[in-house]
Amino acid sequence: MKYLDEYRDPQLARTLVARIKEESSRPWVMMEVCGGQTHTIVRQGIGEALSGSVEMIHGPGCPVCVTPLEQIDRALHLASRPEVIFTSFGDMLRVPGSECDLQQIRARGGEVRVVYSPLDALELARNNPDREVVFFAVGFETTAPANAMAVWRARELGVENFSVLVSHVTVPPAMVAILESPDNRVQAFLAAGHVCTVMGWTEYLPLAERYRVPIVVTGFEPLDILEGILMAVRQLESGRYEVENQYVRSVTRQGNLPAQDLVSRVFHLVDRQWRGIGMIPSSGLGLREPFAAHDAERKFALEGITADEPSVCRAGDVLRGRIKPNECGAFGKACTPERPLGAPMVSSEGACAAYYNFKRFPAPDPRAADVAAARAL
């Protein structure tokens, strides 16, 4: 496809890398807040190419990954109920709960179905009036409009057996939590392009001003990311802290106003728990009172289901950018895609999955061979 090839040109990539290195007077630390960007950065070796000039650290940009363990356990509880048809996008099926995952529930006889749209789940409810159909509504602001439409239509059509288990989170509060952390190292952000196609980029203006941090909206192809990094470097080098839009082919200043209007009619901001991070105030979306009949958490009284994150899994440190995935002691050993400890290892946007799939394992300890030889004596 010519359209994609234009954003993957190796010669242009080398030119952008050279410019970033030339214009960086010191090493800068940036965070991308999108799992799609993370996978491109790792797959294309962008971090290694910019070594010494820019360090890319991976933020909480994967909505599947930040869905807390207790919410996964609530989903598992619902999927195990005989009257429920539990529906979800496919990327949630192997996210581990406290004891199992949705795929294992399905293997045990639970009715768990993969759908491609929440409206498919709504249609399933209309066709099965004797069953309760629940859709697992996970995502950032990107997927919120479609989920809002499904709930709106359910109320409009009087489909009482359709509900959603809402796990929506929003990006700006997570960025604030990172910036206000006492161990924060982030000096600039690459903002998630898909989120901004819906929300625009004006909501980032107060963040850039208050925290004096450049924010550049970028796309997901290698040249998108490299150009976004160059734009951020130029701001850092000149002492500016503005919001800039590299992803002009998809993102406008105001975003998708009809989609925003629908989301605001159906959802309102709520405090939300993030996996491995904790509670972030006003960082999630919850159903407004007129739509409470379609709230699975209320309908099935799930509030009492809680869970503690496994201490061996350092997903929270990965999601906050404190460590790289391959710096976790469980990475590639106790935690693999076949036997994951946390969502970042199995999600298609997870940083741990990116490092595993693209062979970013820790460098071998040169002393290991000497130790092994000594033990053999």
The neighbour count for residue 327, using CB atoms within 10 Å, is 13
- Residues in contact with 128: Cβ distance below 8 Å, sequence separation at least 6, in sequence order: 85, 161
| 131 occurs within a structural domain | yes
**Residues comprising the chain, all counted:** 377
* pLDDT tens, per residue, the chain with 377 residues: 456 778 888 999 999 999 999 999 999 999 999 999 999 999 999 999 999 999 999 999 999 999 999 999 999 999 999 999 999 999 899 999 999 999 999 999 999 999 999 999 999 999 999 999 999 999 999 999 999 999 999 999 999 999 999 999 999 999 999 999 999 999 999 999 999 999 999 999 999 999 999 999 999 999 999 999 999 999 999 999 999 999 999 999 999 999 999 999 999 999 999 987 889 999 999 999 999 999 999 999 998 888 887 788 899 899 989 999 999 999 999 999 999 998 999 998 999 999 999 988 886 554 444 433 333 33
pLDDT of residue 376: 39
Q: Do the Cβ atoms of 111 and 81 come closer than 8 Å?
A: no
Tell me the whole-structure pTM to 2 decimals. 0.91
pLDDT of residue 189: 98
pLDDT of residue 130: 97
Closest CA relative to residue 186, chosen from 213, 156, 210, 165? 213
Q: Do the Cβ atoms of 189 and 213 come closer than 8 Å?
A: yes
| 101 occurs within a structural domain | yes
| 114 occurs within a structural domain | yes
- Residues in contact with 338: Cβ distance below 8 Å, sequence separation at least 6, in sequence order: none
| 200 occurs within a structural domain | no
pLDDT of residue 304: 85
pLDDT of residue 377: 37
**Domains: count for the chain:** 1
pLDDT of residue 370: 45
CATH classification at residue 128: 3.40.50.11740
| 138 occurs within a structural domain | yes
Closest CA relative to residue 229, chosen from 6, 40, 5? 40
Distance from C-alpha of 362 to C-alpha of 332, rounded to nearest angstrom: 10
Q: Can you tell me which residue has the tokens 């904790």?
A: 278
The secondary structure element, H or E, covering residue 295 is: none
| 241 occurs within a structural domain | no
Q: Is the Cα dihedral 352, 355, 359, 365 positive or negative?
A: negative
Q: Do the Cβ atoms of 110 and 164 come closer than 8 Å?
A: no
Q: For the chain, how long is the longest CA-to-CA vector?
A: 76
Range of the domain at 92: 64-170+256-299
pLDDT of residue 90: 92
| 90 occurs within a structural domain | yes
pLDDT of residue 188: 98
| 233 occurs within a structural domain | no
The crossing angle, in degrees rounded to 10, of helices 144-157 and 118-127 is 20
